[in-house]
Amino acid sequence: MTEQDAAEEETPSSEEAPEDVEVEAAPDDVDADDIDLDDVTGADEPVDEELVDRVAESDPEDVARELAALRTRAESLEGQVEDLEAEAEELADKLKRKQAEFQNYKKRMDKRREEEKQRATEDLVTRLLDVRDNLERALQQDEDAEIRSGVESTLRQLDDVLAAENVEVIDPEPGEDVDPTQHQVLARVESEEAGGSIADVHRPGYEMAEKVLREAQVTVSEE
């Protein structure tokens, strides 16, 4: 078997040109050394010596068929790349739209929460207006009039409003232990109470939904 016959048998049959690709027959006087290897490996790629020997020993027409098959495959891959690029661009556009929709959703939710907060404040103020009216009417009484009962009634009304908002009074009894989370110690004084315990309440505190709004101001018995 000649070297040329061996080379022809080594040529992969899977890379033969498709039936619809027209291949011009190489002239009889074309030498394998005249084939431009840039079509096979690329001008800027390092030359594969084994591939060079194979091309030199192969029939020019077989080489032309292989090149035609490679070109066809390259064109097919280029088409796939274009399709993938178009799909990637479409996905990027969808992502931008989703991000814009999410930002709009956040703005709507922030606006709704602000509106709900304002409505809650309006409701509280509306209920406090009656309390203010009652206090004003009490001050309009004659100087000799007994207004204590009216003030006490107004205070109960105010307490009811605060209770409806889950507001509780922090008003410890003398002798109770000091709670740093609820009590603000103003001073240490002499007292009949046990040392270190609350002697007196200077000003009550308030908490709402288990959150301290204002600490109770107390004095503490000296130890």
Q: Mean pLDDT across the stretch 76-105?
A: 89
Q: Which of 57, 81, 105 is the last residue of a domain?
A: 81
- Residue 220's pLDDT is 95
pLDDT digit string (tens) for 110-136? Answer: 999 988 887 877 888 888 888 888 888
Q: Mean pLDDT across the stretch 50-72?
A: 75
**pLDDT above 60: residue 24:** no
Q: Which of 21, 48, 81 is the last residue of a domain?
A: 81
Q: What is the CATH number of the domain that holds 208?
A: 2.30.22.10
Q: Does residue 141 fall inside a structural domain?
A: no
What is the count of structural domains for the chain? Answer: 2
Which residues, at least 6 apart from 165, have a Cβ–Cβ distance to it below 8 Å? 124, 208
Q: Which of 44-48, 102-106, 110-114, 165-169 has the lowest mean pLDDT?
A: 44-48
Q: Does residue 47 fall inside a structural domain?
A: yes
**pLDDT above 50: residue 18:** no
Q: Does residue 155 fall inside a structural domain?
A: no
**pLDDT above 70: residue 14:** no
- Residue 45's pLDDT is 60
Q: What is the DSSP string of 37-84?
A: THHHH-TTSPP-HHHHHHHHHS-HHHHHHHHHHHHHHHHHHHHHHHHH
φ and ψ of 42, to 5 deg: 95, 140
Q: Does residue 222 fall inside a structural domain?
A: yes
Q: Which of 34, 58, 81 is the last residue of a domain?
A: 81
Q: Does residue 46 fall inside a structural domain?
A: yes
pTM summary value: 0.46
d(CA 184, CA 177): 12
pLDDT digit string (tens) for 139-184? Answer: 777 776 788 888 888 888 988 888 888 889 999 999 999 999 999 9
**Number of CB atoms found within 10 A of residue 218's CB:** 27
Q: Does residue 210 fall inside a structural domain?
A: yes
**pLDDT above 90: residue 200:** yes
